[in-house]
């Protein structure tokens, strides 16, 4: 809303606008988006920052610059979601030209018409696996899985491996952690109730929330961020929790006594996208062509332990790291492959509202 001030059709006097801008700037509340020149020799990417962003830089962006001479400008810790894309498209000012979205953000952004179609004359299929990597509006290089992790110092080797086990508070007592997130939780409820993978969609919400009631008082922590999810099981505030696979693998590598179960995991892809009309979109396509190749995919997966979507990457990953990843054959086959894109376009708001109602009651 604030950035609308820069729109030419704004019916507001210049003096007034200056006054507003001055006051806003003085209070430090206004973020001023950088305006990027077209046809430059660079591409601006948004990243989460942290080790994830640092690994992206080292395994994806720096090699790209080396190979092509195109500079990659990194915006750290920027909002990277549909809301940001919508803001850019609505105001015509872009903070970044490309970013990696999660599956649901990708679905939402795409269904709202916020993304630039991918130019597959630039993103070549030669060294890639189009079936697993290409979408009309996004390119995928890595995956993530929702897993169940448990403390081995509590359960030994016989810990909860499925959502049915997670629900079984008699056999596996103790405080539990769960992502405070509607679209994953309702699926877990159905899996816990014995719904087979192929019948999960369209979701039976009555059944899901009836099952949800059974676990309500045993979920102690409804975590809201990746680092929090790691903290609560590292500190033993919970004895089991849902964890994103890369976060889980990192904890295990760190030496925290946990076991990761993919037995009723949910695997989804991350998507590199370009907000519609981004000024450096041509360079962004070139970036995608590069990072979707086998080596960058393998290098990134080696660092972050989120399995690659380029099947040609797998051979380039050290053999002893492969079993840690969500995409290794033995893990992959056990999991529910995320689908339901159309379902979520229709129902995301409704399911969220229902989840919220259930949660606070």
State yes or no: residue 93 binds another protein (CB under 8 A). no
Candidates 76-84, 198-206, 244-252, 274-282; binding stretch for another protein (CB under 8 A): 76-84
What tokens appear for 142 in the block? 């890595």
Strands 240-244 and 143-151: antiparallel
State yes or no: residue 205 binds another protein (CB under 8 A). no
Residue 2 or 122 with smaller CB distance to another protein:
2
Least Å from the CB of residue 232 to another protein: 8
Q: How far is CA 88 from the centre of its chain?
A: 20
Rounded to 5 degrees, φ, ψ at 321 are -85, -25
| DSSP-based helix, strand, coil % in the chain, nearest 5 | 50, 20, 35
The residue within the footprint of another protein, chosen from 231, 257, 295, 341 (CB under 8 A), is 231
Residue 100: strand pairing partners: 272
Close Cβ partners of 224 (under 8 Å, ≥ 6 residues apart): 179, 180
Residue 93 or 220 with smaller CB distance to another protein:
220
Least Å from the CB of residue 237 to another protein: 4
The pattern of x and - marking residues 28 through 67 that bind another protein according to CB under 8 A reads ----------------------------------------
State yes or no: residue 82 binds another protein (CB under 8 A). yes
Please state, in angstroms and rounded to a whole number, the distance separating the CA atoms of residues 168 and 23.
57
Q: Which element (helix H / strand E) includes 178? A: strand 176-179
DSSP 130-179: HHHHEETTEE--BEEEEEEEEEHHHHTT----SHHHHH-TTTS-S-EEEE
Residue 27 or 39 with smaller CB distance to another protein:
27
Candidates 13-21, 158-166, 306-314, 322-330; binding stretch for another protein (CB under 8 A): 13-21
Residue 207 or 236 with smaller CB distance to another protein:
236
Residue 238: closest CA among 226, 222, 253, 252: 222
Interface residues with another protein (CB under 8 A) are 1-2, 4, 12, 16, 19-20, 23-24, 27, 79, 81-83, 86, 104-105, 108, 112, 180, 219-222, 224, 228, 231-232, 235-237, 348-349, 352-353, 356-357, 359-361
């Amino acid at each position: 809303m604030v950035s609308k001030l820069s729109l030419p059709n704004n019916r507001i006097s210049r003096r007034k606008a200056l006054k507003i801008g001055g006051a806003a700037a003085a209070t430090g509340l206004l973020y001023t988006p950088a305006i990027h020149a077209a046809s430059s020799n660079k591409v601006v990417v948004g990243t989460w920052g942290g080790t994830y962003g640092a690994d992206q830089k080292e395994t994806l962006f720096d090699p790209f610059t080396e190979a092509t001479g195109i500079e990659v400008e990194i915006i750290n810790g920027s909002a990277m979601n549909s809301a940001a894309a919508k803001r850019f498209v609505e105001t015509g000012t872009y903070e970044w030209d490309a970013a990696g979205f999660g599956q649901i953000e990708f679905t939402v952004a795409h269904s709202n018409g916020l993304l630039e179609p991918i130019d597959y004359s630039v993103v070549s299929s030669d060294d890639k696996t189009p079936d697993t990597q290409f979408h009309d509006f996004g390119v995928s290089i890595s995956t993530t899985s929702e897993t169940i992790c448990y403390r081995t110092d509590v359960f030994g080797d016989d810990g909860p491996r499925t959502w049915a086990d997670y629900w079984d508070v008699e056999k596996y007592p103790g405080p539990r952690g769960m992502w405070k997130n509607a679209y994953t939780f309702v699926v877990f409820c159905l899996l816990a109730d014995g719904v087979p993978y192929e019948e999960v969609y369209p979701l039976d919400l009555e059944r899901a929330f009836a099952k949800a009631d059974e676990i309500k008082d045993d979920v102690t922590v409804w975590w809201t961020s990746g680092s929090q999810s790691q903290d609560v099981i590292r500190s033993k505030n919970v004895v089991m929790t849902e964890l994103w696979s890369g976060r889980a693998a990192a904890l295990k590598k760190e030496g925290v006594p946990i076991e990761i179960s993919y037995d009723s995991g949910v695997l989804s892809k991350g998507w590199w996208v370009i907000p519609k009309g981004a000024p450096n979109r041509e360079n962004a396509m070139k970036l995608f062509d590069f990072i979707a190749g086998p080596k960058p995919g393998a290098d990134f997966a080696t660092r972050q332990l989120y399995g690659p979507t380029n099947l040609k990457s797998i051979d380039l990953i050290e053999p002893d790291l492969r079993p840690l990843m969500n995409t290794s054959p033995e893990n992959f086959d056990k999991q529910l492959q995320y689908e339901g894109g159309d379902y979520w376009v229709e129902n995301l708001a409704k399911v969220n509202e229902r989840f919220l109602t259930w949660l606070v009651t």
